[in-house]
């Protein structure tokens, strides 16, 4: 799969098997240094890197997973995206529209592609 088709996401350790089971992500076996031009972190306890596949509905499905995790826990999660020299944050809770979260993630990908 070409590098442009994968986004690295840092997620809590307990989220990896759930994301794998849904076919949304797989663990990154080695820290890939320069490949981390775009990094989206889920929460402040993010500790494990996974590759989020960029299938047609993967970003929206991942956004729905983030919102669902907030709904189940009753807590909000901060997403942060680093792309090039800038970093942006989005606070997600169980009532946020999935489209807002998906747009945030897609924007991080788009910005990286346009900085090339």
Q: Is the pLDDT of residue 114 over 70?
A: no
Asked if 37 contacts 84 with a C-beta cutoff of 8 angstroms, the reply is yes
Tokens 């993630």 map to which residue?
Answer: 105
Q: Is the pLDDT of residue 3 over 70?
A: no
Tokens 């809590």 map to which residue?
Answer: 12
Mean pLDDT in residue range 82-110: 81
Least confident of 22-26, 40-44, 91-95: 40-44
pLDDT per residue as tens digits for the range 56-84: 788 888 889 888 888 888 888 888 877 67
Pairing of strands 6-11, 38-42: parallel
Over the chain, what HEC string results? CCHHHEEEEEECHHHHHHHHHCCCEEECCCCCHHHCCEEEEECCCCCEEEEEECCCCHHHHHHHHHHHHHHHHCCCEEEEEEECCEEEEEEECCCCCHHHHHHHHHHHHHHHHHHC
Dihedral sign of CA atoms 63, 15, 17, 49 in order: positive
To the question of pTM greater than 0.85 for the whole model, the response is: no
Mean pLDDT in residue range 95-110: 84
């Amino acid at each position: 799969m070409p590098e442009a088709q994968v986004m690295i996401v840092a997620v809590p350790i307990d989220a990896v098997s759930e994301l794998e089971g849904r076919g949304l992500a797989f663990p990154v076996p080695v820290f890939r240094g320069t490949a981390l031009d775009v990094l989206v972190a889920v929460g402040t306890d993010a500790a494990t890197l996974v590759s989020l596949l960029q299938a047609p509905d993967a970003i929206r499905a991942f956004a729905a997973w983030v919102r669902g995790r907030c709904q189940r826990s009753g807590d909000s999660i901060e997403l942060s995206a680093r792309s090039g020299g800038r970093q942006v944050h989005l606070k997600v809770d169980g009532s946020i529209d999935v489209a807002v979260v998906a747009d945030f993630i897609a924007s991080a990908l788009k910005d990286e592609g346009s900085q090339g």
